[in-house]
Structure 1
Amino acid sequence: MVQNLARRMRPRNIDEIIGQSHLVGQGKILRRMVETGLLSSMILYGPPGIGKTSIASAIAGTMEASFRTFNATTDTKKRLQEIAAEAEFSGQLVLLLDEIHRLDKPKQDFLLPLLENGQIILIGATTENPYFSVVPAIRSRVQIFELKPLEPEDLQQAVNLSLQDKTRAFDFDVSLDDDALYFLIHSTNGDLRSTFNALELAVLSSKNHHVTLDDMENSLQKKAATFDKDGDAHYDLLSALQKSIRGSDVNASLHYAARLIEGGDLPSLARRLTVMAYEDIGLANPDAAVHTVLALQAAEKLGFPEARIPLANIVIDLALSPKSNAAYLAMDEAISDLGKYGNLPIPAHLQDGHYAGAKELGRSVEYQYAHNFPNHWVNQQYLPDKLIKADYFQPDDMGKYEKALNLRKQWINEQKGGGDKSSQKR
Structure 2
Amino acid sequence: MKPLAFRMRPRTIEEIIGQSHLVGEGKIIRRMVAAKQLSSMILYGPPGIGKTSIASAIAGSTQYAFRTLNAVTSNKKDMEIVAAEAKMSGKVILLLDEVHRLDKAKQDFLLPFLENGMITLIGATTSNPYHAINPAIRSRCQIFELHPLTAEQIKETLQRALHDQERGLGKYRVIMDEKALNHLAQASGGDVRSSLNALELAVLSTPPNEEGDILISREIAEECLQKKSFSHDKDGDAHYDVLSAFQKSIRGSDANAALHYLARLIEAGDLPSISRRLLVIAYEDVGLASPQAGQRTLAAIQTAEKIGFPEARIPLAAAVIELCLSPKSNSAIQAIDAALADIRAGKSGDVPDHLKDAHYKGAKELGRGVSYQYPHDFDNGWVKQQYLPNALKYKRYYEPKNTGKFEQSLSTIYEKIEKSK
TM-score band, normalised by shorter chain: 0.5 to 0.7
Note closer, same or farther for the CA distance 1:283–1:26 as it changes in structure 2 (3 Å cut): closer
Q: Is residue 173 from structure 1 mapped to residue 173 from structure 2 by the alignment?
A: yes
Separation in 1, partners of 2:67, 2:85: 10
- SS, match of residue 269 in structure 2: helix
Question: Aligned residue for 1:161?
Answer: 160
* Alpha-carbon offset, residue 8 of structure 1: 0.5
Note closer, same or farther for the CA distance 1:218–1:131 as it changes in structure 2 (3 Å cut): same
Percent identity of paired positions between Structure 1 and Structure 2:
49
CA contact (8 A) 2:177 2:218 kept: yes
The CA deviation string for residues 296-325 of structure 1, in whole angstroms up to 9 with x for no partner, is 6xx7xxxxxx96134895466553243454
* Alpha-carbon offset, residue 221 of structure 1: 3.1
Separation in 2, partners of 1:191, 1:285: 28
Separation in 2, partners of 1:128, 1:273: 16
Q: Structure 2 counterpart of 1:175, which letter?
A: I
Separation in 1, partners of 2:166, 2:411: 70
| Aligned pairs for 1:286-297 within 5 A | none
CA contact (8 A) 1:100 1:124 kept: yes
CA contact (8 A) 1:277 1:318 kept: no
| Aligned pairs for 1:37-116 within 5 A | 37-116=36-115
Structure 2 residue aligned with 1:264, among 214, 217, 229? 229
Q: Is residue 215 from structure 1 mapped to residue 175 from structure 2 by the alignment?
A: no
- SS, match of residue 96 in structure 1: strand
Question: Aligned residue for 1:187?
Answer: 187
Separation in 1, partners of 2:45, 2:60: 22
CA contact (8 A) 1:14 1:55 kept: yes
> Gapped runs of 5+ residues in structure 1?
223-262, 300-305, 329-374, 376-393, 412-426
* Alpha-carbon offset, residue 207 of structure 1: 3.0
* Alpha-carbon offset, residue 105 of structure 1: 1.3
CA contact (8 A) 1:71 1:99 kept: yes
* Alpha-carbon offset, residue 18 of structure 1: 1.6
Q: TM-score, normalised by structure 2?
A: 0.60
- SS, match of residue 122 in structure 2: strand
Separation in 1, partners of 2:105, 2:91: 24
The CA deviation string for residues 82-104 of structure 1, in whole angstroms up to 9 with x for no partner, is 11010112232110011111111
CA contact (8 A) 1:42 1:142 kept: yes
| Aligned pairs for 1:386-425 within 5 A | 397=404, 404=407
Q: TM-score, normalised by structure 1?
A: 0.60
Note closer, same or farther for the CA distance 1:275–1:97 as it changes in structure 2 (3 Å cut): closer
* Alpha-carbon offset, residue 56 of structure 1: 0.3
The CA deviation string for residues 187-219 of structure 1, in whole angstroms up to 9 with x for no partner, is 101001101110100111113222111211211
Note closer, same or farther for the CA distance 1:403–1:265 as it changes in structure 2 (3 Å cut): farther
Aligned CA RMSD, in angstroms, stands at: 4.0
- SS, match of residue 145 in structure 1: strand
CA contact (8 A) 2:151 2:186 kept: yes
| Aligned pairs for 1:314-393 within 5 A | 314=274, 317-321=316-320, 322-325=322-325
* Alpha-carbon offset, residue 407 of structure 1: 6.7
Separation in 1, partners of 2:135, 2:83: 22
Q: Is residue 15 from structure 1 mapped to residue 14 from structure 2 by the alignment?
A: yes
CA contact (8 A) 2:42 2:143 kept: yes
Question: Aligned residue for 2:332?
Answer: none
Note closer, same or farther for the CA distance 1:98–1:409 as it changes in structure 2 (3 Å cut): same
Separation in 2, partners of 1:409, 1:193: 58
The CA deviation string for residues 109-156 of structure 1, in whole angstroms up to 9 with x for no partner, is 100000000010000011111111111111111111111111101100
Residue-pair matches, total: 293
> Gapped runs of 5+ residues in structure 2?
209-213, 233-238, 275-312, 329-395, 397-401, 414-421
Question: Aligned residue for 1:332?
Answer: none
CA contact (8 A) 1:274 1:292 kept: no
Q: Structure 2 counterpart of 1:31, which letter?
A: R
Separation in 1, partners of 2:13, 2:410: 57
* Alpha-carbon offset, residue 403 of structure 1: 5.3
CA contact (8 A) 2:99 2:124 kept: yes
Note closer, same or farther for the CA distance 1:274–1:174 as it changes in structure 2 (3 Å cut): farther
Separation in 1, partners of 2:92, 2:123: 14
CA contact (8 A) 2:18 2:149 kept: yes
Question: Aligned residue for 2:363?
Answer: none
Question: Aligned residue for 1:250?
Answer: none
Q: Structure 2 counterpart of 1:80, which letter?
A: M
